[in-house]
Amino acid sequence: MNKHIYPLLIAQFLSALADNAILFTVIALVMHSHNESWYIPAVQSAFTLSYVVLAPWVGELADTHIKSHVLFIANIIKALGAICLLVNIEPIIAYCIVGVGAAIYNPVKYGILPELAEHHYLVKANSLMEGSTILAILLGMLLGAKVADYSIPFALMGCLSLFLISAFVTTFLPKGIIKPVTKHSKLGAFLTEIKAIFTINGATFTILGGGLFWLTAATLRVILIVWAPLILLMKNATEIAELTFFLAIGIIIGAAMVPKLIPLEKIARTRFAAYLMAMFIIMLSLTNDLWSSRGILLLIGMAGGIFIVPINAQLQEIGQQSFGSGRAVALQGFFNNVAMLMGVGCYSLFTSTGGDPIMAMLLLGFFVIIGTMLISLSLPNNRKRL
């Protein structure tokens, strides 16, 4: 692997740390000022919507510009969102701005990986990226929640500083491969790429599998915010963050295990991890004990890490061999975030009709089982062999 992967990992770690610290700062802010059950899912949806709306443009931006410059600008936009929260702009709007920066950042951080790691090291590079990202999520959740429970302005200042430091680190990255700009309509080109990617062998499973994972992750996260106070009697953002700590640790462990378990040639094995993830979610819905919940969340995270890392690696390679890794990651981001909006939206609708988080969690587990069965049908017969 190219030595430049290390500045990328550092920049991504700092940016992801701030992303998640600011999320739990917003959660703490909302818990202090809004009692409506729909508000936290709405904040999460505003962030996610940025990925969906900007998808036709961010992939092209990643492939046709100097990647270090794009990462720098994306971090500055995230910093602007933190400033908006500091000056008391509506949290949904401010967090949406952070989402814009994240939507620009995402295709570059994954799109540059195939340029820094050869085929046989691509899963390992993704494992490092996923592991460092989840570690940042873990620390961001805990630090963000703890500091925000003490002082929300202080927490926001810390997030702002992290975004700016991450922006500085990106200046050490190489320019990367720069592809020609599409001369036609960006939206038209994006629709053409959507149609094209589903004709590539193995891409359907990759795209839909990534969407299923992120729908599950986003929906489970908003369910936990309601489920934990109801079932485990948790009272603040710090306690909820400490609970999700075990989910994050599980993903790190799963991501570390992947390179030896699932090479790209055996991508079909990931479906078994998805089935396990679903079963553990169902088990969590039947649990009302703190330590049992922590243990099951650890197992959910491990299964999720094993599921998503090879999928990301395969999509990057498909993109590099076709219309560009950045565009492929943007396409995946589009489907992932549409899936997240659908999951969070369905959960919000479910709660608005009086549904409880226990039943929501149970339904989510069964949905993952059915969804995995359906997307596995898209695997060619030769790819289903273990």
pLDDT score, position 119: 64
Q: Mean pLDDT: which of 12-16, 129-133, 350-354 is highest? A: 12-16
Judge if pTM exceeds 0.95. Answer: no
pLDDT higher than threshold 80 for residue 9 = yes
pLDDT higher than threshold 80 for residue 168 = yes
- Give the single-character DSSP code of 379: S
Give the residue-averaged pLDDT of 102-128. 78
Instruction: Kindly report the number of other CB atoms within 10 A of residue 243's CB atom.
Output: 20
Cα(98)–Cα(8) distance, rounded to whole angstroms? 20
| Beta-strand runs (E) in the chain | none
Sorted by where each starts, the structural domains of the chain and their CATH numbers stand as 5-170+187-383 (1.20.1250.20)
Cα(165)–Cα(75) distance, rounded to whole angstroms? 9
Cα(128)–Cα(109) distance, rounded to whole angstroms? 12
Over residues 21-69, the pLDDT tens digits come to 998 888 888 777 655 566 777 787 888 888 888 888 887 787 788 888 9
Vertex 52, ends 208 and 158: CA angle to 5°? 110
Q: Residues 28-67, buried b or exposed e (16+ Cβ, 10 A)?
A: bbbbeeeeeeebbbbbbbbbbbbbbbbbbbbbbbbbbbeb
Retrieve residue 106's tokens: 């995402």
Instruction: Kindly report the number of other CB atoms within 10 A of residue 235's CB atom.
Output: 11
pLDDT score, position 371: 94
Model confidence band, residue 2 (pLDDT cutoffs 50, 70, 90): low
